[in-house]
Structure 1
Amino acid sequence: MDLITPLDTICRLIIRAREAEAQVTAIETDEEDDPTESDDGFAVLEDEANEVVEEEIQALLDDLGEDQLAEVLALAWVGQGTYDASEWEDALAEANEGGEDKIAQILDMPMLAGYLDGGLAAFDLSCDGVGQVD
């Protein structure tokens, strides 16, 4: 299986999806103005709006062609276990013929980073060393 989507693009999507998944909804209290002053060590993970990360994920997906979006969706399905690696052509065909918005389907996956990572691993691909300068 040869990817038409650059591996570094998929890896960047995985990194940003992990960042979005790591953030939790902020708990607002009238007493606390600055979450960094909180006694809660996890307060720095709170983000009322993951706008920057979400916008970058959206931009990454917007820059992909329809065939690349189908590939990302099919990779996520393989990582999710909906399809096996041996069923790649079937997953890709379903992703290509799906009537729903591919971007919406991708963004609606609650564990997107893990699914994409698992999809890559099913084909002996990984993000190890991608984007690093030696």
Structure 2
Amino acid sequence: MAVELTISPDTIRSLVEKARTISAEVTDTYTDGGEHDTEFDPDTLERSHAHDGLEEEEEGNLTEEELKELIDDLNVDEAADLVAVTWIGRGDFEAAEFDQARTEAMERAEGSTSHYLMSMPLLADHLEAGLDALEL
């Protein structure tokens, strides 16, 4: 299906990678409470693991912030196309209904596109499935 997007498929793939990185930070297999299974010697740990404050912990938020900024930097047409691809990947529309999905995305655009998309736990999967359905 030949569709002309205002956002490049490669840009969408880049967003998919960032969304996957974010969703992989805490997986479904994570079990809370397991952190007490290992004992550390505080003296040895302090000498061998030095870092500046929460620098390592803040790095995880960097990808999320990057994804948010990338989506927020899209123009109206690109954002509508991204939402339309997401909806097609999610099964709300068929690939043949891309123009309708794009129109609805533009009409329903309220608030932050990044907030809307990043609230979807399967965003990366939806985007990939949408690209596949559109044969891009």
Which TM-score tier does this pair reach, normalised by the shorter chain?
A: 0.7 to 0.9
Give the match for residue 11 of structure 2.
9
Q: 1:48 to 1:32 in 2, by over 3 A?
A: farther
1:60 maps to 2:62:
no
Distance 1:99 1:11 in 2: 22
> What whole-Å deviation, never above 9, does each CA across 1:20-64 have from its counterpart, x for those lacking one?
11111785757667xxx9xxxxxxxxx966301101101211221
Give the match for residue 82 of structure 1.
92
Q: Which moved more, 1:19-28 or 1:102-111?
A: 19-28
Which residue among 20, 39, 62 is the counterpart of 1:18? 20
Distance 1:62 1:110 in 2: 18
Cα drift, residue 2 of structure 1:
0.6
8 Å Cα contact 2:18/2:67 also seen in 1: yes
What is the percent sequence identity of the aligned residues?
A: 36
Q: Secondary structure at the match of 1:24?
A: coil
Question: Which structure is richer in relative contact order (CA contacts within 8 A, separation 6 or more)?
Answer: 2
Q: 1:53 to 1:86 in 2, by over 3 A?
A: same
Distance 2:64 2:114 in 1: 12
> What whole-Å deviation, never above 9, does each CA across 1:64-121 have from its counterpart, x for those lacking one?
1011111101100000001111111111111001142222211111111110000000
- Give TM-score scaled by structure 2 length: 0.72
Q: 1:32 to 1:83 in 2, by over 3 A?
A: farther
Which residue among 113, 116, 119 is the counterpart of 1:108? 119
Q: Which runs of 5 or more structure 1 residues have no equivalent in the other structure?
A: 38-46, 126-134
Q: Considering fraction of residues, name the structure with more helix.
A: 2
Q: 1:87 to 1:21 in 2, by over 3 A?
A: same
Give the match for residue 51 of structure 1.
61
Letter in 2 for 1:7: P
- Give TM-score scaled by structure 1 length: 0.73
